[in-house]
Amino acid sequence: SKSTPEAANPEPAPVEKTKFVLASTTSTQDSGLFDVLIPAFEKANPEYTVEVIAVGSGEAMKMGENKDADVLLVHSPAAEKAFMEAGFGTERRDVMYNDFVIVGPASDPAGIKSAGDLNAVMAALAKGKAPFMTRDDKSGTNAKELKLWAGASVSPTATANAADWYLSTGQGMGETLKITNEKQGYTLSDRATFLTSKGALDLVILREGDKALLNQYGVIPVKDAAHLDGGTAFMEWITSAEAQKIIGEFGIEKFGQALFTPNAQ
Amino acid sequence: MTTAATICITGVRKVFKGKAAVDVTRLELKPGRTLALLGPSGSGKSTLLSIVGLLEKPDAGTIELDGVRVSVADRAARMTMAAAFQRTYLFKGTVGENVAYGLRLRRVSGAETAERVAAALERVGLPGWQDRSALTLSGGEAQRVALARALVLRPRILLLDEPLASLDPIMKWRLTRDFAQILSEERVTTLYVTHDQDEALAVADDVAIMREGRIVAHGPVDEVFGLPADDWTAGFLGMEPAIRGRVLETRDGVAHIDCGGVDLFAIASVTTGSEVSFGVRPEDVLLFEADVVVPVSSARNRLDAVVAEIDPSGATFRVVIEQGSVRIAARISRAALADLRLSVGTPVQALFKATAVRVAST
Amino acid sequence: MTTAATICITGVRKVFKGKAAVDVTRLELKPGRTLALLGPSGSGKSTLLSIVGLLEKPDAGTIELDGVRVSVADRAARMTMAAAFQRTYLFKGTVGENVAYGLRLRRVSGAETAERVAAALERVGLPGWQDRSALTLSGGEAQRVALARALVLRPRILLLDEPLASLDPIMKWRLTRDFAQILSEERVTTLYVTHDQDEALAVADDVAIMREGRIVAHGPVDEVFGLPADDWTAGFLGMEPAIRGRVLETRDGVAHIDCGGVDLFAIASVTTGSEVSFGVRPEDVLLFEADVVVPVSSARNRLDAVVAEIDPSGATFRVVIEQGSVRIAARISRAALADLRLSVGTPVQALFKATAVRVAST
Amino acid sequence: MGIFVDAFRGGLDMLVSGATDVWSIVLVSVQVSGAAVLLALVLGIPAGFVLGTKRFIGRRMMLVIANTGMGLPPVVVGLVVAMLLSRRGPFGKLELLYSQPAMVIAQLVIALPIVAAVSAAAVSAVPRELRLQARSLGASPWQEAFMTLKEARMGLIAAIAAGFGSIISEVGAVTMVGGNLAGKTRVMTTAIVQYTRMGDYGPALALAAVLMGMVLVVNILLARVQSSAERFEA
Amino acid sequence: MGIFVDAFRGGLDMLVSGATDVWSIVLVSVQVSGAAVLLALVLGIPAGFVLGTKRFIGRRMMLVIANTGMGLPPVVVGLVVAMLLSRRGPFGKLELLYSQPAMVIAQLVIALPIVAAVSAAAVSAVPRELRLQARSLGASPWQEAFMTLKEARMGLIAAIAAGFGSIISEVGAVTMVGGNLAGKTRVMTTAIVQYTRMGDYGPALALAAVLMGMVLVVNILLARVQSSAERFEA
Ligand SMILES: Nc1ncnc2c1ncn2[C@@H]1O[C@H](COP(=O)(O)OP(=O)(O)OP(=O)(O)O)[C@@H](O)[C@H]1O
Ligand SMILES: Nc1ncnc2c1ncn2[C@@H]1O[C@H](COP(=O)(O)OP(=O)(O)OP(=O)(O)O)[C@@H](O)[C@H]1O
Ligand SMILES: [Mg+2]
Ligand SMILES: [Mg+2]
């Protein structure tokens, strides 16, 4: 059966349970990972219940700043670094990574499949033969995309016909993939979201496996949060062997391959 | 003004919840004449008016305008008419806008509209009221605006449903006189619903009386008011029912009628031996004390009767007197009532002229 | 029924757009009496009625109920009243629901409500109409439901604004008689706005006449109708204005009055030598041809006058006659008009009794 | 149209099979929107009555505000309510963010102007004389208001339907202040959005059908009241 | 309140500085919602007139549908319109998805029931006799309808304000069918959501203020018409 957004948490929580808020990204939630992860956590730590708020990485960190979240699970290394430096988090740990893929129409009008390295890919895309969808939402994916352009020394918005090919969707990965599909253009997607929504799309993976396409997730308990204990417990648990094993197996049953690679130290 | 319009409705029925509110075999509005429609509350007058005005679709029957069958869908036919309803409905806006409404629909020029609106308002006694809000008028003011709104169109057919009901007598009589003049001068064919017989008398050429959806009497004013068609109509008009008699002889246009032993004379062309019914208008009957010697007069008819009923009727009194099977009413003043010391059972002499007797063959 | 209510309004003004619609120095509704309020269209009758009914706040002035000052905020005071407006407004729902509305507000039991509603509907000639929709009634039916809705409450104070305007004469007279009886039996203090003097005569004990917001005449029916306070009031009531004269002598309660050479006799207690004004009701004046010998009668007054005006007024005629400065009107029938061959300028004899002359000191 | 049929059938199967705890989602929807709609009626109808019947200074301004309030973007309402309730915000102490009360507040803010503006218009169409008539028969101000609302029922039902509709179908604000927490603040609309985001059109459409069914049932009931007024018309 | 002030000031700076192309966003909003609202009025007001004045079989059902339509979740509308217009959907050939016409369609579907239901209620409050009176003075069916709408203007303005409000503030459907493409289909609400998601509450609030200002101006204009009716009242 398909994954569902409902957590299997039928019993009402005993009174003494503490509730804490985990702010994460929509891509993580949309993949269905939390549907297995959260129940497992709550079983292992019966004194807690978790509330997952799925937003963009940017907003998730804003929630941290505002102390509306107790712990973050995000994937935007540069922003995470800034968050830590501003003193909003207690500590940051790697949790897992998945990888990004560049998807596009099977016909590959920009010819990126045959391009040499990623920089060549980006340069080819910048020729504007087909639209490229940017999420433009300060998400982890968006940050990674901008890094790729920078690496190739291309400024897409500065190209002559940017308005025609470099399209800002300002939305989540799922929506951006749909738009890419309609436009039969290209975009950078995390593998999990692409696999989840592949059924409705006429898009294929054109680039994958490049080192620069890895997508690192980190966990950060929020300093001075109301339920920092819960956040810390979550960090400890998700980096534990037990949780890492669950992550490593997630998706195999449904997609035939794991969606995330655990890499907690 | 084009030629006067004729309206003829035939077999018209309108049924509400199984009850026929209107059920009229035939009714004609004659060209240029005013038909007063009377009848008790709920008898179907307003319903009939909206059917004639092509506002309400009858369940059956036809309406002919100048001999051509018309229906609610005929806008051209409706454009020749104008109506003021029993309950006044004015549009939000000024009095002037209300009165100008129909003219604007007819694309009358601004200058002419202003002029005609002013004249119409003047006519209903509201000169210069153009800029007043139409929603804050008194009952009578509103009714007059609604009237002006219809009159200003100079329609060929005018449908008025108790247009003067909320007016004081002075204004009412002023407008009544105005109406009578306009309607006959401009040869507007008019259906005029009213509860006031005096008003009908003043304005109308013809009268129809409705009862439970049917027309029970219809004809020229004098005829209908002079000789009610049946007991019910007589009662409704506040008259005694017609009296039946047999024509003994006719000489020089004067019919000598016998009714159960009482002899009466009437100006009527009826055949000797025929059965007739007749009546006398209460205003035309003079009463005297039973024992006085009444001087010779032009009154051909004299009854030695007895007072059967005395009813106050506004400022005057209605005294019903009887001799044998002849029962007639007399309208007399309070002073006369006192002078004659009348009470039920008092013997009186009643005098009325042969011309006061209205006769109809049965 | 508790004791009858008194209402006294003092210095009441209501101004709309700079014009005083109501400007009444003082008006009293006497306990258990019916005050008929007459006046031309737009004179402020309805506005005054809503002020008395505590529905509209006056801009100035006080309203006292049984000597206690009350205002629009006094619900208890309003609960003793019930009103039927000039324009009928019924609630969406059945006739029964409408009539029961006030009773439900007063928490009258269901059984009693049903009984009283049935009785009230019966009284207005709509027996068993409880379940009819109130929105599809004819004009007169709706008006009667509104009336029943007020009557059913058996209020201490009843405010009726032309309650019978849309009714046919038969129904109107039936209800008028009913009213007169109920109102006096139950000692309901009533303000009764009407345009119909006959109706006022039949129902009311007192009359007030409004003109441009002011009360220009006020008093018992006989007094106000008998002797109009001024020219305007007389004209409004369709009468001749009061005549002025000087009392020459008073003997046995009969005053001998001289007005510019014409001698008249009246039953009145006035002092010799005083200036008085007086009038004669048109119904009380008998006309004779100028040259006939009028038999001796109880009529003390005789004028040798000339016809000055003839106006049709409904089914009767109003003939104004003049002798010197004395100008009075006579109401006569169509038959009499014809018999006397009257036209303007015709000399006539006019007879009326001393009791027919209404006198007021000036 | 196959795209619809397939998706829908799949979704329905899923809902019926009970694999998803649909009913808990529906329950939360009913609780939250029920409370919000009740509050919106309790506050909005009296406000509409006053705006529609009384004449006072500032009334026109308040009408403009109510009408403008109907254009308040739910996401802005959500944002502002979220900021107010945020732990750093002025009402942070209450810890209401991501709870049902927060959703009720946001929905109330959305529905209130609609209920007030539409019922003001409805009530203002009742002739003033009808109110005076009620008063003259002894109605207290409350009874008079009740009568007026009854007379205006056609428009009032439209106000209620519009207010309810705006609330039950809203997703932006409830997501922001509710957080779409499964079993707690996940309502039908947020669940629909999430399924859609996950590409599961089937359950999304099936849930939408359940939602529309609910709205339909409510409106059929409301229509009975609405057309009860017409029973009396010509 | 510091949280608001700071955010807002920052946002305003950003808008004023021209760093963001606010005006293109506003322009798209005006184009799309303007077209949708016009269409909604052109279709909805006549529909409301018919529903409010005529008696025909199926009328009550249509009223229920209109009322229910007010509860149509914009996301569902968005989803369905998106599915219809998607490349795999029945109208894929038109290539309308993620274009302004698609947004107009979705917004129209959202506003139409509101405009129709509220104006039906407004129009039904105009006494039938007033229409008959107009007809008796020579009004054609169109002129009669126009007069009726004028009489019902208070309620009609509420209908327009509600319809406009529902459209201009809507985000779920326009996102789904418009795609929030910068310079093409990005409107104020979708931009607000985007900023919010990015944690940039400042520009979000500033844009919301611009949006509300626009709605306010429109409603001030509408209020002039609305209260012009009251000039004539007591
Ligand atoms: N829509 C309707 N549904 C049911 N009955 C109706 C409807 N319209 C009118 N009636 C009934 O039809 C009858 C005739 O109504 P109509 O208004 O024509 O009477 P009318 O003669 O004008 O009375 P009035 O003098 O009281 O105005 C009345 O008994 C009325 O109750
Ligand atoms: N709200 C208002 N604004 C302005 N003028 C008003 C308002 N209400 C009443 N008037 C005016 O005040 C005057 C008195 O009105 P009112 O209704 O009391 O008259 P009325 O004596 O009852 O007349 P009718 O016999 O015609 O019913 C009228 O000229 C009317 O136009
Ligand atoms: Mg009638
Ligand atoms: Mg009046």
d(CA A252, CA C265): 127
What pLDDT is attached to residue D101? 94
- pLDDT confidence tier of residue A244, bands split at 50, 70 and 90: very high
**CA distances to A83, A84, A140, C342, D23 from A92, in Å:** 10, 8, 16, 121, 39
E228 to chain B: closest CA residue: B93
What residue ranges of chain C are covered by domains with CATH 2.40.50.100?
243-361
How far away, in angstroms, is B161 Cα from ligand 3 center?
A: 7
Question: Does the structure show a pLDDT above 80 at B355?
Answer: no
- pLDDT confidence tier of residue B314, bands split at 50, 70 and 90: low
Chain D hits for C93, Cβ within 8 Å: 232
pLDDT tens by residue, B241-285: 778 888 998 887 788 899 888 888 888 778 888 888 888 877 778
The crossing angle, in degrees rounded to 10, of helices D201-228 and D2-17 is: 80
Between residues B316 and D169, the one the model is more confident about = D169
Q: What is the ipTM of this complex?
A: 0.86
What pLDDT is attached to residue B231? 80
pLDDT tens by residue, D5-33: 776 777 677 667 765 677 888 899 999 99
Helix or strand (DSSP H, E) at B214: strand B214-220
Which one of A101-105, C297-301, D96-100 scores highest in mean pLDDT? A101-105
Chain C hits for D234, Cβ within 8 Å: 135-136
What pLDDT is attached to residue A5? 45
Chain B hits for E139, Cβ within 8 Å: 105
The answer for residues whose C-beta is within 8 angstroms of residue C258's C-beta and 6 or more apart is C245, C246, C248, C264
Mean pLDDT on A129-137: 89
Do E and A touch, counting CB pairs below 8 Å (3 needed)?
A: yes
The strand pairing partners of C82, in sequence order, are C158
Q: For residue A156, give both structure tokens.
A: 């897409």
- pLDDT confidence tier of residue E48, bands split at 50, 70 and 90: very high
- pLDDT confidence tier of residue A6, bands split at 50, 70 and 90: very low
d(CA C182, CA C163): 15
Counting ligand 1 atoms within 8 A of each CB, the residue from B16, B51, B210 with the most, and so the one to mutate, is B16
Residue E16 belongs to a domain with what CATH number? 1.10.3720.10
pLDDT tens by residue, D183-221: 888 999 988 888 877 767 778 888 888 898 999 999 999
Q: DSSP string of D109-176?
A: HHHHHHHHHHHHHHHHTS-HHHHHHHHHTT--HHHHHHHHHHHTHHHHHHHHHHHHHHHHT--HHHHH
Q: Which of E66, E60, E76 is nearest to E44 (CA)?
A: E66
Question: Does the structure show a pLDDT above 80 at E137?
Answer: yes
- pLDDT confidence tier of residue B64, bands split at 50, 70 and 90: very high
Between residues A186 and E23, the one the model is more confident about = A186
Q: What is the CATH number of domain B7-236?
A: 3.40.50.300
Q: Are B228 and B241 in contact (CB under 8 A)?
A: yes
What pLDDT is attached to residue D2? 60
Under DSSP, is residue C360 helix (H, G, I), strand (E, B) or coil?
strand
* Helices and strands per DSSP (H, E), number in chain C: 10, 20
Q: Which of C55, C68, C85, C75 is nearest to C159 (CA)?
A: C85
Mean pLDDT on D31-46: 96
The strand pairing partners of C219, in sequence order, are C207
Between residues A61 and D10, the one the model is more confident about = A61
User: Looking at the CA of B195, which ligand is closest?
Assistant: 1
Mean pLDDT on B80-107: 95
Nearest residue by C-alpha to atom 8 in ligand 1? C136
Mean pLDDT of chain E: 88
Q: Which residue in B137, B281, B314 is closest to C201 by CB distance?
A: B314
pLDDT tens by residue, C143-157: 999 999 999 999 999
What pLDDT is attached to residue A56? 77
Under DSSP, is residue C299 helix (H, G, I), strand (E, B) or coil?
coil
pLDDT tens by residue, D153-164: 999 999 999 999
Mean pLDDT on B41-70: 95
Mean pLDDT on C320-349: 84
Under DSSP, is residue D72 helix (H, G, I), strand (E, B) or coil?
coil
- Is the shortest distance between the CB of C45 and ligand 2 below 6 Å? yes
**CA distances to A264, D9, D214 from A6, in Å:** 27, 20, 21
Under DSSP, is residue B206 helix (H, G, I), strand (E, B) or coil?
strand
Q: What is the CATH number of domain C243-361?
A: 2.40.50.100
What pLDDT is attached to residue E19? 58
Q: Are C90 and E127 in contact (CB under 8 A)?
A: no
What pLDDT is attached to residue B1? 46
Mean pLDDT on D58-73: 90
What residue ranges of chain C are covered by domains with CATH 3.40.50.300?
7-236
Question: Does the structure show a pLDDT above 60 at C112?
Answer: yes
d(CA E53, CA E131): 10
Given a contact as 3+ CB pairs under 8 Å, which chains touch E? Answer: A, B, D
- Is the shortest distance between the CB of C341 and ligand 2 below 6 Å? no
The residue type found at E147 is M
Question: Does the structure show a pLDDT above 50 at C321?
Answer: yes
In the C/D pair of chains, how many CB contacts fall below 8 A? 65
Between residues D182 and B59, the one the model is more confident about = B59
Weakest-pLDDT range from A70-74, C123-127, C270-274, E40-44: C270-274
| Domain limits for position D12 | 2-233
Mean pLDDT on B203-227: 90
- pLDDT confidence tier of residue E2, bands split at 50, 70 and 90: low
**CA distances to A208, D41, D87, D89 from E2, in Å:** 46, 33, 13, 8
Mean pLDDT of chain B: 89
Residue bearing tokens 């506002």: B55
Between residues E84 and C355, the one the model is more confident about = E84
Mean pLDDT of chain C: 89
What pLDDT is attached to residue A4? 45
Question: Does the structure show a pLDDT above 70 at C54?
Answer: yes
- What are the E-state strand segments in chain C? 7-16, 19-29, 34-38, 60-65, 68-70, 81-84, 157-161, 189-193, 206-211, 214-220, 243-251, 254-259, 262-267, 275-280, 286-289, 301-313, 316-323, 326-332, 347-352, 357-361
E154 to chain D: closest CA residue: D121
How far away, in angstroms, is B138 Cα from ligand 2 center?
A: 4
Query: Which of A3, A4, A29 best tests the D interface by mutation, with the highest count of D CBs <10 A?
Result: A4
Q: Given an 8 Å threshold on Cβ–Cβ distance, is E138 in contact with B135?
A: no
Q: Are B140 and C38 in contact (CB under 8 A)?
A: no
Mean pLDDT on A50-72: 87
What pLDDT is attached to residue A8? 45
Between residues B189 and D224, the one the model is more confident about = B189
A23 to chain D: closest CA residue: D179
The answer for residues whose C-beta is within 8 angstroms of residue C195's C-beta and 6 or more apart is B140, B166, B167, B168, B169, B172, C38, C162, C165
Helix or strand (DSSP H, E) at A53: strand A48-55
The crossing angle, in degrees rounded to 10, of helices D74-85 and E188-197 is: 30
d(CA D166, CA A85): 43
Q: For residue E26, give both structure tokens.
A: 């506003």
Chain C hits for D147, Cβ within 8 Å: 91
Considering the entire predicted model, what is its pTM?
Answer: 0.87
- Is the shortest distance between the CB of B137 and ligand 2 below 6 Å? yes
Chain C hits for D151, Cβ within 8 Å: 91-92
Between residues B91 and D224, the one the model is more confident about = B91
Q: A77-89 in b/e burial notation, b at 16+ Cβ within 10 A?
A: bebbeebbeeebb
d(CA B212, CA B41): 9
Chain B contact for C296 (CB, 8 A cutoff): no
Query: Which of D59, D67, D77, D221 best tests the E interface by mutation, with the highest count of E CBs <10 A?
Result: D67
Per the structure, the count of domains in chain D is 1
